Chains A and B, each alone.
Chain A
Amino acid sequence: MIPPSFEYVRPGSVEEAVSALASSGDDAKVMAGGQSLIPLLRLRLSYPEVVVDVGRIEALRGVRDEGDHLVIGAMTTHDEVLRDPLVRTHCGLIAEATETVADPAVRHRGTFGGALAHADPAGDLPAVALALDAGFVIEGPGGRRTVPASEFFLDYLQTVLGPDELLVEVRVPKLGAGWGYRYEKFHRVAQSWAIVGVAAVVQRSNGSIASARIGLTNMGATPLRASATEQALAGADLGSIGDAAGHAADGTSPASDLNGAADYRQHLARVLTGRAVTAAARA
């Protein structure tokens, strides 16, 4: 539990961070809250030559209102996110899911952007970002670009972020009137990762469901959308949620591990999707 030695850089601005990354090539690791990276270092599963600690870049912190979007700085801690009045008012799903992340100690250190950039499919926030159609604002040597959540996650722990790029903020569309949401997390002890999680947002219209977006946690190498269920729910009445949820695991191939074999995970995805959509539709 002792990390190998590495060079440590603590830039004061996004520009400095990007240039530090650019000059280090593939051998640098960005450290945000350190809640994933430090355990990897201590277990000697990761041997970066340079650790770029972005924890002191004030510009990356905080939540602001940009009309139809909220913009959440990448270095905003989980605890700040879940207590933020703007997040609670306009993006309650994020607050609800963030409350389930690990334990209070981790939530005070871990960051919103760090959790997304780490891209652990068992993490709660990637599926939430997917369900909310969030946009990922990335800065590199060539400037800024915004990538939709549906394109951000490439594979297990892999994203579109280049080695010289930094996730700086996340743009989250506000849920308007008529939308409900729910995050259903299934885990054995409070501080553990989800065996399966389901993030659902549902738009109601005249007692039926106008549209729904559903993100699945830990059902594959990346967070996934339950597309077949979403299609079945579009325009459907509340009585058909169960049937639609039966398609939640279609096309998924989740891992089998200590916490659940693949068939059990698929079963859980269907049950939890039914519960999440029902709750979101009633909210």
Chain B
Amino acid sequence: MTETVERPARENAVGQPLRRKEDARLVTGRTNWTDNIVLPGMLHMAVLRSPMAHARITRVDVSPALARPGVVAAYSGADLGDANGSIPCVWPVTDDIVMPPHRCLATDEVRYVGDAVAVVIAGNRYEAADALEAIEVDYEPLPPVLEMPAALQDDSPLVHSESGTNKCYTWEFAGGDYEAAKAKADRVFTRHYVNQRLIPMAMEPRAVVANPTGPGGEITLWSATQIPHVLRLLLALVTGIPENRIRVIAPDVGGGFGSKLQLYREEVLAVVIANRLGRPLKWTESRSENAQVTHHGRDQLQEIELAVTNEGKILGLRVDLTANMGAYLHIITPGVPILGAFMFNSIYKMEGYSFSCTGVFTNTTPTDAYRGAGRPEATFAIERIMDDLAAELGVDPIELRRRNWIKHEEFPYTTISGLEYDSGNYEAATERALELLGYDELRREQQERRDRNDPVQLGIGVSTFTEMCGLAPSRLLGSLKYVAGGWEHATVRVLATGAVEVVTGSTPHGQGHVTAWSQIAADALGVDVDAVQVIHGDTGTSPYGMDTYGSRSLVVGGMAVVAAAERVVEKAKLVAAHLLEADPGDLEYKDGAFSVKGSPGSSKTIQEVAFEAFTAHNLPDGVEPTLQANSTIDPATFSYPHGTHLCAIDIDTETGMAKIRKYVCVDDIGKVVNPMIVEGQIHGGLAQGIAQALYEEVVYDAEGNLVTGSLVDYLVPAAPDLPSFVTDRTETPSTTNPLGVKGVGEAGTIASTPAVVNAVVDALRPFGVDDIRMACTPERVWRAINDAKSRGGERVAEGTVAYGGATTDSTAGGAS
């Protein structure tokens, strides 16, 4: 028997606003970005890109570049031959989807400005960049296809001539019977919204280093990626290199927002060419390349229709989307709008839902996942139309939502799109948000300003959002034709000294996994947070994982950590029982130590057990040495965070300038592991959602050149441009995972865009304004005030292309 040890009761780490373990290193610059990596004999790659949106390539001659100083190699697509692999799309959403080749280097035609044509490999970045200018390419211009409605016309030029169409797919979905619901309705209210194209614009541009000199012919690729595990698999499929000879490492990664949830051409090229040359190779993207060729997000034309009673009860919903794929399909390009299909009905009850989405090719940068990926687009449309419908019916927008939302006592609730929402309390979040905003007082002030024709008008916008987190139940992904699963893996080890290692397959790129996983594991094992080391981001040390996107890490990856830690405790209990000469069933585990129930005097700490498991001198029969366990969790369902966001905005009607006066959000993300990390996620998410509403917008000129190709023209707001956010939470635990968590990575972005645009439109309704195109720039607001029908205008400047070609004439709303 061991001696009695008095152990202080341990305080739970989960729920504490602990400072992030990551930050001291990050904020003092002791970081390991991919571009910081320098290897002996390393070469540098530069990529020659198309200056034209659409042209036939009649000749590429890289030989003049070979004569330039420092140049080691140069390749066109033809020079690479079979090694010029095609980027796969892993989400063919329909059986008859059109999936054209997406070669690393274009060989027959270039299809957007920035399309890769050739590469130079040289001794340093400068030599590589200089030598690009020597490559000779002959282009035969072809008419660019830039606008989606025009692209779908029979006489349109084709982005991929061999496909015979610019239509990528049409995907349809129904819940209940929309036509029956419509037949019963008093009114049918149709609106046309535009969800403009955005650039994800992560702080760290992309970068790769490929080192082919590993033992056993292994090639190591460091990449600024969100998905080292998925990347390894895709690289193996594209290059033919056996998966077990590829190691992918995501070192410190400076943000992704979906843009690094990708297999990029440069990743394949770096691996293939480094292998061919037998030397390490680096490529780092410039900010200009980042804007031009790293995938874009959003870009949907949205037709949305509500069939309602005169009292504002929703009976049915119809959504018809046109979604811009860009010039090629990237890994989940077609699936992004489909992710939104289940979210248009949001928190509202109804009898029928009809959804259709048509994906369209254009001569623009490919689109793919961007923070929220389909859900912000859906939330924007439904929350915009709810405010517009409230105005049409003369009902307060909050009251209209109350008449339609799922009441808290109705959970679990299966929605019209077939998802079972496990929990939620929309009433509580909304009441708290109204109180924090001072809703009634601001409504009074709004009326006063209207009455006295004040040059500054006040608007209040509402967004009562929900979303789905925790990608994803593998069977469901299979039913949607996604080619992979949605599980996550973790290993928990208690080493001989009692130090704890948590290996996670959920690779962070700024979220704070290391801190949060430490908190979770510390509680599950009853140890100190500082005793836990989290290992991630390297297929050599964390071989299994599905990585980080879609607010999945905590709800899937975090649960794998919990499950693995529980298995460790189960095994430790067998050892402790043996050491304590007790039956395992008589032991209890508390604060990191096992003791016999009712006889707390004798105990074994987890650290003592770990040492015994290491020496293996005295283990019970049948128990293997070492104290470690794995878990691979496949989520049974999604989780559904929700919240109420309210925005009060001042509009200077003389200039059109919109300035947020107060922004309140009350989010319900279930249980919270680290409130400080949550607060950071909410703030950053709000900034990105507000950016779509007021600042950011991709614009092409009539030839397909990206006009907003730098941070001078693509306006990313910073701290001085944003208000102090008023944030609060309600806490309705999820019932579908042991921690009761729901996910928070995208909530702010999903919720805030419609709240802000609703506020702008609300301020201007007395002028007859019912919509303003995003971004709600001062000029658009001013034009809408002076000509309500213009909705601020579709184009930001004459001769430019935005919104995939939406036109004001086709955007008429109103009741029928």
A residues touching B (Cβ–Cβ < 8 Å)? 1-2, 4-5, 42-43, 103, 186, 188-193, 195, 256-261, 264, 267-268, 271-272
Contacting pair B797 A261 (CB below 8 A): yes
**Which B residues touch A42, using CB under 8 A?**
286
Closest-CB distance, B414 to chain A (whole angstroms): 44
B286 and chain A: residue at smallest CB distance: A1
Contacting pair A264 B797 (CB below 8 A): no
Contacting pair A43 B288 (CB below 8 A): yes
Contacting pair A1 B130 (CB below 8 A): no
Closest-CB distance, A31 to chain B (whole angstroms): 18
A256 contact from B130, B289, B798, Cβ within 8 A: B798
A192 contact from B707, B715, B779, B782, Cβ within 8 A: B715
Contacting pair A258 B707 (CB below 8 A): yes
A193 and chain B: residue at smallest CB distance: B712
**Which A residues touch B713, using CB under 8 A?**
258
Q: Mark B674-707, 1 if CB is under 8 A from A, else 0.
A: 0000000000000000000001000100000001
A260–B777 CA distance with the chains assembled, in angstroms = 9
With A1-B287, A189-B720, A257-B797 given, can you name 20 additional A-B contacts, CB distance below 8 Å? A1-B286, A2-B126, A5-B126, A186-B657, A189-B695, A190-B718, A190-B720, A192-B715, A193-B712, A195-B778, A258-B797, A259-B777, A259-B779, A260-B778, A261-B797, A264-B779, A264-B783, A268-B655, A271-B655, A272-B655
A4 and chain B: residue at smallest CB distance: B130
B345 touches A (CB below 8 Å) = no
Contacting pair A271 B654 (CB below 8 A): yes
B233 touches A (CB below 8 Å) = no
**Which B residues touch A267, using CB under 8 A?**
782
B 106-157 contacts with A by CB, 8 A? 125-126, 129-130
**Which B residues touch A190, using CB under 8 A?**
718, 720-721
B415 touches A (CB below 8 Å) = no
Closest-CB distance, B122 to chain A (whole angstroms): 11
B 762-798 contacts with A by CB, 8 A? 777-779, 782-783, 796-798
Contacting pair B796 A258 (CB below 8 A): yes
Contacting pair B655 A192 (CB below 8 A): no
Contacting pair A258 B708 (CB below 8 A): yes
Closest-CB distance, B708 to chain A (whole angstroms): 7
Closest-CB distance, A232 to chain B (whole angstroms): 20
Q: Which 6 A-B pairs have the closest CB atoms?
A: A1-B286, A190-B720, A2-B129, A189-B721, A264-B779, A189-B715
A271–B708 CA distance with the chains assembled, in angstroms = 28
A186-B657, A268-B655 known; A2 vs B782 contact (CB < 8 Å)? no
A31–B655 CA distance with the chains assembled, in angstroms = 37
Closest-CB distance, B212 to chain A (whole angstroms): 25
Contacting pair A188 B715 (CB below 8 A): yes
B658 and chain A: residue at smallest CB distance: A188
**Which A residues touch B720, using CB under 8 A?**
189-191
A228–B783 CA distance with the chains assembled, in angstroms = 26
A255 and chain B: residue at smallest CB distance: B797
B717 touches A (CB below 8 Å) = yes
**Which A residues touch B287, using CB under 8 A?**
1
Closest-CB distance, A122 to chain B (whole angstroms): 10
**Which B residues touch A103, using CB under 8 A?**
718
Contacting pair B655 A260 (CB below 8 A): no
Closest-CB distance, A264 to chain B (whole angstroms): 5
A191–B287 CA distance with the chains assembled, in angstroms = 17
Contacting pair A256 B721 (CB below 8 A): no
20 contacts between A and B (CB under 8 A): A1-B287, A2-B126, A4-B130, A42-B286, A186-B657, A188-B715, A188-B777, A188-B778, A189-B695, A189-B715, A190-B720, A192-B715, A195-B778, A257-B797, A258-B800, A261-B797, A264-B783, A267-B782, A268-B655, A271-B655
A50–B192 CA distance with the chains assembled, in angstroms = 55
A44–B545 CA distance with the chains assembled, in angstroms = 42
A1-B287, A2-B286, A189-B695 known; A261 vs B798 contact (CB < 8 Å)? yes
**Which B residues touch A186, using CB under 8 A?**
655, 657, 778
**Which B residues touch A257, using CB under 8 A?**
797
B707 and chain A: residue at smallest CB distance: A258
A43-B288, A186-B657, A189-B718 known; A258 vs B699 contact (CB < 8 Å)? yes
**Most chain B Cβ neighbours within 10 Å, of A42, A103, A189, A195:** A189
**Which B residues touch A260, using CB under 8 A?**
778-779
A258–B796 CA distance with the chains assembled, in angstroms = 6
**Most chain B Cβ neighbours within 10 Å, of A1, A4, A191, A192:** A1
**Which B residues touch A4, using CB under 8 A?**
130
A4–B127 CA distance with the chains assembled, in angstroms = 9
A2-B129, A5-B130 known; A191 vs B718 contact (CB < 8 Å)? yes
**Which A residues touch B125, using CB under 8 A?**
2
Closest-CB distance, A195 to chain B (whole angstroms): 8
A258–B779 CA distance with the chains assembled, in angstroms = 10
Closest-CB distance, A102 to chain B (whole angstroms): 11
B 299-353 contacts with A by CB, 8 A? none
A43 and chain B: residue at smallest CB distance: B288
Q: Mark B173-209, 1 if CB is under 8 A from A, else 0.
A: 0000000000000000000000000000000000000
Closest-CB distance, A94 to chain B (whole angstroms): 21
**Most chain B Cβ neighbours within 10 Å, of A2, A191, A258, A260:** A258
**Which B residues touch A43, using CB under 8 A?**
288
B289 and chain A: residue at smallest CB distance: A1
A251–B548 CA distance with the chains assembled, in angstroms = 57
B124 and chain A: residue at smallest CB distance: A2
A236–B717 CA distance with the chains assembled, in angstroms = 41
B699 and chain A: residue at smallest CB distance: A258
A5–B124 CA distance with the chains assembled, in angstroms = 13
A160–B810 CA distance with the chains assembled, in angstroms = 52
A283–B796 CA distance with the chains assembled, in angstroms = 37
A43–B699 CA distance with the chains assembled, in angstroms = 19
Q: Mark B712-728, 1 if CB is under 8 A from A, else 0.
A: 11011110110000000
A154–B783 CA distance with the chains assembled, in angstroms = 33
A4-B130, A189-B717, A192-B715 known; A261 vs B779 contact (CB < 8 Å)? yes
A270 and chain B: residue at smallest CB distance: B654
Q: Mark B721-743, 1 if CB is under 8 A from A, else 0.
A: 10000000000000000000000
Closest-CB distance, A78 to chain B (whole angstroms): 16
A268–B656 CA distance with the chains assembled, in angstroms = 10
Closest-CB distance, B439 to chain A (whole angstroms): 28
Closest-CB distance, B497 to chain A (whole angstroms): 45
Contacting pair A264 B657 (CB below 8 A): no
**Which B residues touch A5, using CB under 8 A?**
126, 130
**Which A residues touch B716, using CB under 8 A?**
189
**Most chain A Cβ neighbours within 10 Å, of B655, B695, B721:** B655
Closest-CB distance, A267 to chain B (whole angstroms): 7
A260 and chain B: residue at smallest CB distance: B779
Closest-CB distance, A211 to chain B (whole angstroms): 26
**Which B residues touch A188, using CB under 8 A?**
695, 715, 777-778
Contacting pair B707 A1 (CB below 8 A): no
**Which A residues touch B654, using CB under 8 A?**
271
**Which A residues touch B797, using CB under 8 A?**
256-258, 261
**Which B residues touch A189, using CB under 8 A?**
695, 715-718, 720-721
A38–B542 CA distance with the chains assembled, in angstroms = 42
A195–B798 CA distance with the chains assembled, in angstroms = 17
A17–B695 CA distance with the chains assembled, in angstroms = 43
B782 contact from A193, A258, A259, A264, Cβ within 8 A: A264
**Which B residues touch A259, using CB under 8 A?**
777, 779
A1–B709 CA distance with the chains assembled, in angstroms = 12
B 215-234 contacts with A by CB, 8 A? none
A185–B777 CA distance with the chains assembled, in angstroms = 16
**Which B residues touch A271, using CB under 8 A?**
654-655
A191–B707 CA distance with the chains assembled, in angstroms = 19
**Which A residues touch B715, using CB under 8 A?**
188-189, 192
B656 and chain A: residue at smallest CB distance: A264
A207–B310 CA distance with the chains assembled, in angstroms = 60
B205 and chain A: residue at smallest CB distance: A1
Closest-CB distance, A80 to chain B (whole angstroms): 21
A271–B335 CA distance with the chains assembled, in angstroms = 47
